[in-house]
């Protein structure tokens, strides 16, 4: 028996790459688009992964949202770390099931959500957000989607210090990451990885300068990720005309320890 769509669950309704929605199923209500209406009652009790026809005859796919689908939906109102960049942060920090990760700021909670899915029940995500409105909004979003046993949320300025020690990774998405390097160094286990995400090159330059001057960070590198789609259609295969050309740069560094 597969899981079926329940009242209150989230579904990803999909027509094509540009026309796709994440919606909460509500008994008695309906999904409206300019390609037709789908009554949620027609979804409840049925499996994910079905095709359904709207009243106007348009066929939609109805999917169980992936972790990334929810990440994107959580970040709709603020700028988020894109999935492509989250994937790079995961592989470059080397986190996995069981890892303990510190993140700041929480922002929309979208990356917190992704990290909490990677670290699982045997790991933990500690996330710091200085703005109370963001903290509250992220708390609300995360409570809806995430297993909160895996997440500790602080409404605190991370510049005042990270409480955790010996963590496996520190992930920064802050306007001034260079102010947090000292506390990040204290929090990290030796040889573990700091990741810092910044949209501008000046932020990257200042962060790298601070890392070098601190002289306790190794393997410093900065990169960006570009994803290019290819529309594979018989006889008309080509990349789309427009693509995302920039989101943010990611700087990685590993904690060095003084020779005893």
Does residue 83 bind its own copies (CB under 8 A)?
yes
| Chosen residue from 9, 86, 138, 180 binding its own copies by CB under 8 A | 86
For 18, residues 6+ apart whose C-beta sits below 8 A from its C-beta are none
Kindly give the pairing relationship between strand 50-53 and strand 36-39.
unpaired
Q: Which is nearer to its own copies, 39 or 254 (CB)?
A: 254
Q: Which is nearer to its own copies, 122 or 143 (CB)?
A: 122
- Asked if residue 105 lies in contact with residue 79, where contact means CB atoms within 8 angstroms, the answer is no
246 lies in the site for its own copies, by CB under 8 A:
yes
166 binds its own copies (CB under 8 A): yes
Binding flag, residue 235, its own copies (CB under 8 A): yes
Candidates 76, 140, 143, 218: give the one binding its own copies (CB under 8 A).
218
Minimum Å gap between C-beta 27 and its own copies is: 20
Residues 169-188 that bind its own copies (CB under 8 A): none
Provide the minimum distance between the beta carbon of 136 and its own copies in the complex, in angstroms, as a whole number: 26
The answer to the question of residue 193 lying near its own copies (CB under 8 A) is yes
Nearest approach, Cβ of residue 161 and its own copies (Å): 20
User: Residues 19, 121, 140, 148: which binds its own copies (CB under 8 A)?
Assistant: 121
Query: Using the rule CB under 8 A, is 161 a contact of its own copies?
Result: no
21 binds its own copies per the rule CB under 8 A: no
29 contributes a contact to its own copies by CB under 8 A: no
Token pair 């602080």 in the structure block, residue: 154
Query: 172 and 184 in contact (C-beta within 8 Å)?
Result: yes
Say how many C-beta atoms besides its own lie within 10 A of residue 102's C-beta.
Answer: 27
CA distance 31 to 58: 13
Based on CB atoms, which residue is closest to its own copies, 131 or 254? 254
Radius of gyration over every alpha carbon of the chain, rounded to an integer in angstroms: 21
- Among the listed residues 187, 206, 190, the one whose alpha carbon sits nearest the alpha carbon of residue 198: 206
Strand partners, 151: 125
Structure tokens at 79: 């700028």
List of residues 6+ apart from 131 with CB closer than 8 A: 105
Contact between 88 and its own copies by CB under 8 A: the answer reads yes
């Amino acid at each position: 028996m597969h899981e079926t769509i329940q009242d209150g669950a989230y579904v990803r309704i999909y027509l094509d790459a540009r026309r796709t929605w994440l919606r909460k199923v509500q008994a008695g209500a309906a999904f409206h688009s300019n390609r037709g209406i789908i009554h949620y009652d027609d979804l409840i009790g049925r499996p994910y992964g079905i095709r359904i026809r709207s009243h106007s005859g348009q066929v939609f796919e109805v999917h169980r949202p992936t972790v990334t689908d929810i990440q994107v939906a959580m970040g709709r109102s603020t700028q988020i770390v894109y999935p492509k960049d989250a994937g790079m942060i995961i592989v470059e920090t080397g986190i996995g099931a069981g890892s303990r990760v510190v993140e700041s700021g929480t922002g929309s909670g979208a990356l917190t959500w992704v990290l909490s899915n990677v670290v699982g029940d045997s790991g933990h995500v500690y996330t710091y957000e200085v703005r109370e409105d963001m903290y509250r909004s992220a708390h609300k979003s995360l409570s809806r989607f995430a297993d909160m046993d895996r997440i500790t949320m602080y409404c605190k300025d991370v510049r005042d210090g990270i409480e955790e020690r010996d963590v496996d990774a520190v992930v920064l998405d802050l306007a001034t990451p260079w102010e947090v390097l000292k506390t990040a160094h204290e929090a990290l286990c030796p040889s573990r990885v700091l990741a810092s995400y910044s949209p501008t090159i000046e932020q990257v330059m200042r962060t790298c300068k601070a890392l070098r001057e601190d002289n306790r960070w190794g393997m410093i590198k900065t990169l960006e990720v570009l994803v290019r789609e290819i529309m594979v259609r018989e006889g008309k295969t080509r990349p789309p005309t427009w693509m995302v050309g920039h989101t943010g740069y990611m700087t990685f560094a590993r904690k060095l320890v003084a020779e005893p």
